[in-house]
């Protein structure tokens, strides 16, 4: 077999999970970061295996019509900014279709058109930034090399105001290594958390003085300069959030997801609902108004505390939130459930979780996924266990990136 050269020239004919262009050189697959289907490219190889190689495009010989000028070249956190937005939606649908067919064997499924984001730019209400001395930015893909950034076109304007303010007040002796920025789209205020060493209180004060929208900054040592709790509202439920807990980066998209989940569950009011990986109660608490009882399970202690606080403030006595790893906690529950919502992290569901779901055999399940590959893997198990896929609806929560959010409805076979 011919050895791989350092650079290969090829024509790309597909796009892979993760967003790389795909082509072939002497019959072997090449994954090309930065390339699009239909383009003839030169690829600098960075990983070489017997059957495939990976690399990045260093020269465009011909370009695809979907290619557009990037707004911020050299930043990996928005690796699809060189693709026109309508084409991003088409590519995401194609990737999802391919993964479900190849991994789950679900080649005959009808995949709905991707629901676009209301705004393909300036949509993010959260960011986790890294700091070296006074340089602030994101790590390059697959490394800890910092890509400094002055302003991020994915962030909501108020977050960019806060980012600009800290650029002006941070000093090398502050010894900060991480900044978390969050914004309430309901109330409009910004909160932050600093990670670092030593006394960061003076920096927090300078930052708040320079940014009126910044209502509070959490610093190491369980201290906070100002108010650091965020308030968001979903279907009449007020959620109290700490800066480190997971919440959808786009409130409008979170509302869309909630409404679709409610619709797909076909609730009548007497159901017992199980919400796995329940987070701060994004699904469990609003849906508690429409069911007899809901049980949420979440590993992250701060998210559980936030969810319980929100439930107590709304007197949602039919909503319980348990803390623990889902695969461990679910095995210990001796109850029955009519329907299930599950929204796992990118790694998908643990095998023990799938086994327990097939023991419960609820009539309907709605699986919210952020990774087509693990979604396909889990669907293969659930379909083999007695379910059929009734709907696959991708929704774009992350424009300018290859990340794909999918809502999948499973119905127990008769």
Co-location of 100 and 62 in the same domain? no
User: What CATH number did the domain enclosing 18 receive?
Assistant: 2.40.50.140
Co-location of 270 and 197 in the same domain? no
CA-wise closest residue to 77 among 20, 133, 6, 129: 129
Q: Could you give the dihedral angle defined by the CA atoms of residues 255, 257, 261 and 264, in that order, rounded to the nearest 10 degrees? A: 110
Q: Output the pLDDT for position 250.
A: 87
- pLDDT by residue for the chain (414 residues), tens only, comes to 678 999 999 999 999 999 999 999 999 999 999 999 999 999 999 999 999 999 999 999 999 999 999 999 989 999 999 999 999 999 999 999 999 999 999 999 999 999 999 999 999 999 999 999 999 999 998 899 999 999 999 999 999 999 999 999 999 999 999 999 999 999 999 999 999 998 999 999 999 999 999 999 999 876 788 999 999 999 999 998 988 898 999 888 889 999 999 999 999 999 999 999 999 999 999 999 999 999 999 999 999 999 999 999 999 999 999 999 999 999 999 899 999 999 999 999 999 999 999 999 999 999 999 999 999 999 999 999 999 999 999 999 999 999 999 999 999 998
Q: Choose the final residue of a domain: 230, 261, 282.
A: 230
Q: Is residue 245 part of a domain?
A: no
Q: Is residue 254 part of a domain?
A: yes
Q: Is residue 241 part of a domain?
A: no
Q: Choose the final residue of a domain: 230, 262, 279.
A: 230
What is the count of structural domains for the chain?
A: 3
**Residue 161 DSSP label:** H
Question: Is the entire prediction scored with pTM above 0.75?
Answer: yes
Q: Is residue 213 part of a domain?
A: yes
**Residue 332 DSSP label:** G
Co-location of 255 and 386 in the same domain? yes
DSSP per residue, 181-210: EEE-TTT--EEEEEEESS--HHHHHHHHHH
| Catalytic residue IDs | 370
Q: Is residue 183 part of a domain?
A: yes
Q: Is residue 72 part of a domain?
A: no
Cβ neighbours, 10 Å, residue 38: 16
Q: Output the pLDDT for position 142.
A: 86
Q: Is residue 85 part of a domain?
A: no
Q: What is the largest CA-CA distance in the chain?
A: 69
Co-location of 141 and 172 in the same domain? yes
User: What CATH number did the domain enclosing 340 receive?
Assistant: 3.40.50.150
Q: Is residue 239 part of a domain?
A: no
Co-location of 286 and 406 in the same domain? yes
Q: Output the pLDDT for position 325.
A: 97
Co-location of 192 and 297 in the same domain? no
Segments forming the whole domain that contains residue 175: 126-230
């Amino acid at each position: 077999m011919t050895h791989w050269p350092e650079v290969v020239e090829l024509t790309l004919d597909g796009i892979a999970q993760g967003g790389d262009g795909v082509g072939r050189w002497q019959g072997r697959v090449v994954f090309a970061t930065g390339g699009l289907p239909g383009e003839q490219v030169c690829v600098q190889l960075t990983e070489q295996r017997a059957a495939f190689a990976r690399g990045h495009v260093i020269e465009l010989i011909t370009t695809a019509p979907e290619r557009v000028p990037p707004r911020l070249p050299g930043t990996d956190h928005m690796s699809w900014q060189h693709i026109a937005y309508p084409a991003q939606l088409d590519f995401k649908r194609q990737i999802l279709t391919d993964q479900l067919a190849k991994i789950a064997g679900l080649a005959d499924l009808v995949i709905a058109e991707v629901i676009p984001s209301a705004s393909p730019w300036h949509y993010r209400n959260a960011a986790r930034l890294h700091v070296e001395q006074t340089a602030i930015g994101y790590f390059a893909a697959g490394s800890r090399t910092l890509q400094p950034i002055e302003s991020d076109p994915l962030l909501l304007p108020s977050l960019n105001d806060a980012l600009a303010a800290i650029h002006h007040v941070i000093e090398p002796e502050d010894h900060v290594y991480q900044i978390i920025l969050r914004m309430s789209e309901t109330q409009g205020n910004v909160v932050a958390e600093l990670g670092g060493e030593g006394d960061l209180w003076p920096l927090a004060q300078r930052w708040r003085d320079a940014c009126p929208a910044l209502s509070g900054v959490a610093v190491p040592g369980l201290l906070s300069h100002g108010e650091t709790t965020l308030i968001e509202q979903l279907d009449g439920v007020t959620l109290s959030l700490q800066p480190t807990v997971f919440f959808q980066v786009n409130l409008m998209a979170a509302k869309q997801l909630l409404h679709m989940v409610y619709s797909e569950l076909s609730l009548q009011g007497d159901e017992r609902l199980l919400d796995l990986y329940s987070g701060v109660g994004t699904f469990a608490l609003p849906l508690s108004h429409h069911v007899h009882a809901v049980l949420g399970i979440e590993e992250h202690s701060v998210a559980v505390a936030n969810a319980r606080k929100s439930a107590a403030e709304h007197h949602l006595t039919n909503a319980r939130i348990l803390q623990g790893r889902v695969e461990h906690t679910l095995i210990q529950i001796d109850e029955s459930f009519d329907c299930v919502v599950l929204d796992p992290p990118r790694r998908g569901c643990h095998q023990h979780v799938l086994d327990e779901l097939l023991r419960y055999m609820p009539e309907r399940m709605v699986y919210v996924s952020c990774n087509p590959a693990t979604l396909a893997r889990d669907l293969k198990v659930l379909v083999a266990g007695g379910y059929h896929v009734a709907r696959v609806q991708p929704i774009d929560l992350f424009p300018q990136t290859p990340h794909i959010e999918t809502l999948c409805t499973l119905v127990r076979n008769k």
